[in-house]
Amino acid sequence: MNSREKFLETMKFNPKAKANKWEFGIWGSTIERWYKEGLEKKHYPKVPTNIINTTASLYTPVWTHEWRKTKTIVEKVYKEPEREIKLPKGIATMAGGLYWPTQGFPLDVDVANYFNFDTSQVIVNVEQFVYPHFEIKVVDENEKYIDYIDIDGGTRRFSKSQQVLPGGLDWIIKDWDSWNKLKEERFSLDKIKDRFPDNWPELLEEYKNRDYPLTVGGYPNGLFGSLTHLIGYENLFLFYYDQPDLVKDVLERLTDVWIAVWEEVLGYVDLDLANLWEDVSSGKGSMISPKVFKEFLTPYYKKLTDFLKGKGVDIIFVDTDGDCNELIPLFMEAGITGLYPMEVSAGMDVVAARKKYPDLQIMGGIPKSDITLGKKRIDEFLEPVNWLLKQGGYIPFGDHFIPPEVPWKEFKYYREKLNKMINEAAK
């Protein structure tokens, strides 16, 4: 079976299906280390340089520093030019488990080829968030930082020394006036087709003949996640109590835009799944209470999940880091069918989750940092994977991006053993 067929059969809980061989992703600095330790450098990751849509291209300017060449955002292409530059410390390479293209991250080739990974999930190339884009502008730049406005209108700070994802400084929704203006100008329900790229017919031919899972949604599209980009975390927590009607109005328009875009997509091509990005959990548990979840998220999740399932898209994943134990039943009640990456370091236990929620689709759950501890520990944490694979509905990989402290030798042992387990479980 190809990557798409494996994914669909696995998510049907078919115990004879061979789960996809993927990783969530790998930090760029990890890849650099592995090249020094034995991974053959045949296809160095190339960073995308064009701006195509919010999901694919947020943060692209800071990865490539293409400031003078991206004064206005007019390019809408999919097979974007790429540049081979030394990978920034904070960039990640995509390795299948997390859809691509996303966040200006390059797609790994060398690790995937070495371990015979399956073809990555691909996200439909269409603008699902702010449109038209804001103009990229440098607000301030010095030896330490670049403060800039990105295509979603958020003002962010990029550290030149750390080179990690830029942090938020200012957000575009501050009150009803700013929201109403944004709603009219950049979240309009008119001209949905303008959100599609110029080369849509070419893409459509590829999508119709694909051998990989095709998804919609993705970063930063989610009922909590999107609001953190538009309002900011701290402001959002206050808005839930001080301006609940404003929050609900934003969510109503976001869901209407997504449904309109997805319906247009589904008029051309079928989809295999949807991904919603939330990151609503921290290492200590949920960032919001069950009461807030049920009031502000559940109704809109149901609106989205009812639409998707009515169109035959019955695999709906949420990407949330941290400890999401408290939220699993709330997600499932709202129509979400799966969760990832299930961070072990934050208290997630995929075996316990599967036993408690036998219908929950799961990806991830492998303690990435424990790979550094060597063969004995790797054998220990992989042992329960056999049972999970035999249940179906599970794709094992690291519980987030593989960090740079993981040596190539240990990763190689872990991944070769996991691949063997996947092969044997399907016999």
The conformational region for residue 276 under phi > 0 = left, psi -120 to 50 = alpha, else beta, is beta
**Maximum distance among all Cα pairs of the chain, rounded to whole angstroms:** 60
Whether the CB-CB separation of 409 and 36 falls below 8 Å is answered with no
Instruction: Copy the structure tokens of residue 253.
Output: 């328009």
**How far apart are alpha carbons 25 and 144 in whole angstroms?**
28
Report residue 60 CA to chain centroid gap.
Answer: 15
Flag whether pLDDT at 46 surpasses 50: yes
Kindly state whether residue 146 falls inside one of the protein's structural domains: yes
Q: How confident is the model at residue 73 (pLDDT cuts 50, 70, 90)?
A: very low
pLDDT cut 90: percent of the chain above it: 86
| Structural domain containing residue 155 | 135-171
Kindly state whether residue 68 falls inside one of the protein's structural domains: no
Q: How confident is the model at residue 65 (pLDDT cuts 50, 70, 90)?
A: low
Flag whether pLDDT at 160 surpasses 90: no
Kindly state whether residue 51 falls inside one of the protein's structural domains: no
What is the average pLDDT score of the chain? 94
**How far apart are alpha carbons 250 and 229 in whole angstroms?**
12
Please calculate the CA angle 84-213-262 and round it to the nearest 5 degrees: 100
**How far apart are alpha carbons 226 and 232 in whole angstroms?**
9
Kindly state whether residue 82 falls inside one of the protein's structural domains: no
Kindly state whether residue 155 falls inside one of the protein's structural domains: yes
Kindly state whether residue 142 falls inside one of the protein's structural domains: yes
Q: In the chain, how many domains are there?
A: 1
Kindly state whether residue 151 falls inside one of the protein's structural domains: yes
Strands 145-149 and 137-141 come out as antiparallel
282: number of Cβ within 10 Å: 14
Flag whether pLDDT at 427 surpasses 90: no
When mean pLDDT is compared across 76-85, 141-150, 196-205, 307-316, the lowest value belongs to: 76-85
What tens digit of pLDDT does each residue of 400-425 get? 999 999 999 999 999 999 999 999 99
* Consecutive H or E run containing 378: helix 375-382
What tens digit of pLDDT does each residue of 360-407 get? 999 999 999 999 999 999 999 999 999 999 999 999 999 999 999 999
Kindly state whether residue 346 falls inside one of the protein's structural domains: no
- Give one DSSP letter per residue of 229-267, joined into a string: HHT-HHHHHHHHHH-HHHHHHHHHHHHHHHHHHHHHHHT
